[in-house]
Amino acid sequence: MSSSLIIGQYIPSDSVIHRLDPRSKIAVIFFYVVIVFFANSVMSYGVLALFALSSAVLSKVPFSYIMKGLKPVWFLVIFTFLLHLFVTREGEVAFSLFGWAVYEEGLIQGAAISLRFFLLILVTSLLTLTTTPIEITDAIEELLGPLKKVKFPVHELALMMSISLRFIPTLMQETEKISKAQASRGVDFRTGAFKDRVKAVVPLLVPLFVSAFKRAEELAMAMEARGYQGGEGRTKLRELKLERRDWLLFAVFILLAAVLFLTRS
Amino acid sequence: MDITFDHVSYTYQPNTPFEHRALDDLSFTIQSGSFVAVIGHTGSGKSTLIQHLNGLLQPTEGQVQVGPYTMKAGEKNKQLMKLRENVGVVFQYPEHQLFEETVEKDIGFGPQNFGVGQDEIKRRTKEAVQAVKLPEELLERSPFDLSGGQMRRVAISGVLAMDPEVLVLDEPTAGLDPNGRKEIMDMFYHLHQEKGLTTVLVTHSMEDALAYADHIIIMNQGKVYREGTPLEIFKQQQALEDVQLDVPEVVSFLKMARDYGLDLEYEGQTIAELAKEIALKVKGGGDHE
């Protein structure tokens, strides 16, 4: 429960971003990820950042919380920046650091790449922060719908995804419970030699697997008892429907793309 | 071992939207050798409380003292292993923690972690198995081949084999049939008396609290709501109902009896004693007519 990783941590709220159709969110994020790679001027990066930041504000997710969740990836962002800074050998020498020449081009590229990285992670984590896992899998099932024509098991895939997503918190709780029980019996997960720590995992993994298999069996039985026979003819409780706000989002996004291509240098 | 909570607070996931204050400025003392029942509604902070008893959680504020061991907010305790050896915790559904190939190995797992010698482990295993009334033939079997009730007993013996001075029980009889419940609770009570253990029982069952505990702590929203002997606690039926808790059968029976004109005070009687008292009163009432 103390994990700082926010991927998959939905934060309930009733903001505009929350109420958007999950399909439009996924589609827009997909194309956003694509066009981020076309940006190459200050202005184009500016509009991209404006879009991402205003979505973050509209989502009403506390900004400090988003930042905290991005902590694990800060390292990557900074690492790519430094890599570009020191490896690129083009343009004028900007300044030298500990006898190592840093080129202007390296500075620019480093900044651009890390900004790209940051924007990508920001929008994708916004998706999981404002959309429940169930909505996401529903949307993926719909978006992949056309693949059914080529006998691709779209429904089964979506079901597998929602089941695994559904059981992540359950398994995490279970892990915490069992590790506490074993810690009470004197297992030390935190200190000791590497070999001992690997050995300490066995009393955790065995009970975890046993209960996961038990759960899987029970779930299968419960589904069968309620007449589940696969996707054929199955109706949905929540039908996805595009609203005015979704069309508005598309319009804004097309505008963004247009501005981006006009401001490219 | 005496257990003292001194203005203890605990907050889950601080500084996030999921922040939750589970214990709120909690102070109480448990005397060495007493049998204490902790009662409270789901989410009242009971589980968080017991995790402080063996250092699984560290207070966000305040200080917990268990015998010679102190856990203070913001300070690392270096004797955590010693503390855990002395405080045995039987969690809810403890059979979920079984993992070894044989029952014997699983029971010996705790003592082995605390560096107990092989001969001593053998002796303790035997003793623990006898205490929970498991047939010794089962020692060689895989714990996963046993029935649910037997697995529970194996898990409990695993904790008993640590030879703790404080025994913490988190609803140890959840999911057992009435016979099994009584057997297990009687067994814990027997051990409590025989070895002079300090016992902390978390339970939903008012009957168990009444039957075994000599001190009751009622929790509500992370605070101590009421505290006292079973007699003191169960006299306050209204206060208990205010936090959605029941009273034992005897007490609720007396309340109903009052509506029928039978005015008896609750003085800690058992059902049998009460029956006699009522019989006496009914007969006596007959004389006046």
User: Is A65–B85 a contact, with Cβ atoms under 8 angstroms apart?
Assistant: no
pTM of the model: 0.74
Nearest to A184 among B16, B56, B144 (CB): B56
What ipTM goes with this model?
0.86
Interface with A, mutate which of B80, B97, B101, B152 (most A CBs under 10 A): B97
pLDDT tens, residue by residue, B61-79: 999 999 899 988 888 878 8
Task: Report the pLDDT averaged over residues B201-205.
Answer: 90
pLDDT tens, residue by residue, B19-29: 888 999 999 99
Question: A215: closest CA among A167, A151, A265?
Answer: A167
pLDDT tens, residue by residue, A91-129: 777 777 776 777 777 888 888 888 888 888 888 888 888
State the Cα–Cα distance between residues A160 and A171, nearest whole angstrom. Answer: 16
Closest-CA residue in chain A for B16? A65
Q: Quick check: B289 pLDDT over 50?
A: no
User: Is B91–A183 a contact, with Cβ atoms under 8 angstroms apart?
Assistant: no
Residue type, B147: S
User: Is B99–A203 a contact, with Cβ atoms under 8 angstroms apart?
Assistant: yes
Name the strand (E) or helix (H) holding B223. strand B223-228
Give percent above pLDDT 90 in chain B: 53
The Cα-based distances of B272 to A193, B112, B259 in angstroms read 60, 46, 21
Q: Are B128 and A213 in contact (CB under 8 A)?
A: no
A vs B, Cβ pairs < 8 A, gives 67
User: Is A183–B56 a contact, with Cβ atoms under 8 angstroms apart?
Assistant: yes
CB-neighbour burial class of residue A206 (10 A; exposed 0-12, middle 13-18, buried 19+): middle
Question: B200: closest CA among B48, B9, B30?
Answer: B30
Q: Which residues of chain A are within 8 Å of residue B109 when distances are taken between CB atoms?
A: 185, 203
Q: Are B264 and B281 in contact (CB under 8 A)?
A: yes
pLDDT tens, residue by residue, B33-42: 999 999 988 8
Question: B99: closest CA among A217, A200, A205?
Answer: A205
> What secondary structure letter does DSSP report for B7?
E
Of residues A220 and B244, more confidence is placed in: A220
Q: Quick check: A225 pLDDT over 90?
A: yes
User: Is B158–A177 a contact, with Cβ atoms under 8 angstroms apart?
Assistant: no
Position B158 scores a pLDDT of 94
Position A3 scores a pLDDT of 44
Q: In the structure, what pLDDT confidence band is assigned to residue A147 with cuts at 50, 70 and 90?
A: confident
Interface with A, mutate which of B99, B116, B168 (most A CBs under 10 A): B99
User: Is B113–A1 a contact, with Cβ atoms under 8 angstroms apart?
Assistant: no
pLDDT tens, residue by residue, A151-164: 888 888 888 888 88
Average per-residue pLDDT in chain B? 88
Q: In the structure, what pLDDT confidence band is assigned to residue A64 with cuts at 50, 70 and 90?
A: confident
State the Cα–Cα distance between residues A264 and A101, nearest whole angstrom. Answer: 29
Position B285 scores a pLDDT of 57
Position A5 scores a pLDDT of 43
State the Cα–Cα distance between residues A86 and A110, nearest whole angstrom. Answer: 9
Q: Which two tokens stand for residue B43?
A: 């989410």
Q: In the structure, what pLDDT confidence band is assigned to residue A209 with cuts at 50, 70 and 90?
A: very high
Q: Tell me the domain boundaries of chain A.
A: 16-131+240-263, 147-225
Q: In the structure, what pLDDT confidence band is assigned to residue B184 with cuts at 50, 70 and 90?
A: very high
pLDDT tens, residue by residue, B118-156: 999 999 999 999 999 999 899 999 999 998 889 999 999
State the Cα–Cα distance between residues B144 and B17, nearest whole angstrom. Answer: 40
Nearest to A11 among B12, B17, B96 (CB): B17
The lowest-confidence range among A62-71, A112-121, A174-183, A255-264 is A62-71
Q: Are B165 and B69 in contact (CB under 8 A)?
A: no
Task: Report the pLDDT averaged over residues A181-195.
Answer: 83
Q: State the smallest CA–CA distance between residue B99 and chain A in angstroms.
A: 6
Q: Go through the domains of chain B in sequence order and give each one's CATH number.
A: 3-229 (3.40.50.300), 248-289 (no CATH)
Residue B45 region, left (φ>0) first, then alpha (ψ -120 to 50), else beta? left
Q: Are B89 and B170 in contact (CB under 8 A)?
A: yes
State the Cα–Cα distance between residues B266 and B263, nearest whole angstrom. Answer: 10
Q: Which residues of chain B are within 8 Å of residue A1 when distances are taken between CB atoms?
A: 12-13, 18
Average per-residue pLDDT in chain A? 83
DSSP notation for chain A:
------TT-------HHHHS-HHHHHHHHHHHHHHHTT--SHHHHHHHHHHHHHHHHHTT--HHHHHHHTHHHHHHHHHHHHHHHHH---S-EEEEETTEEEEHHHHHHHHHHHHHHHHHHHHHHHHHHHS-HHHHHHHHHHHTGGGGGGT--HHHHHHHHHHHHHHHHHHHHHHHHHHHHHHHTT--SSSS-HHHHHHHHHHHHHHHHHHHHHHHHHHHHHHHHTT---STT---SS-----HHHHHHHHHHHHHHHHHHHH--
Count, residues in chain B: 289
Task: Report the pLDDT averaged over residues B243-266.
Answer: 80
Cβ of A237: how many Cβ atoms within 10 Å?
Answer: 4
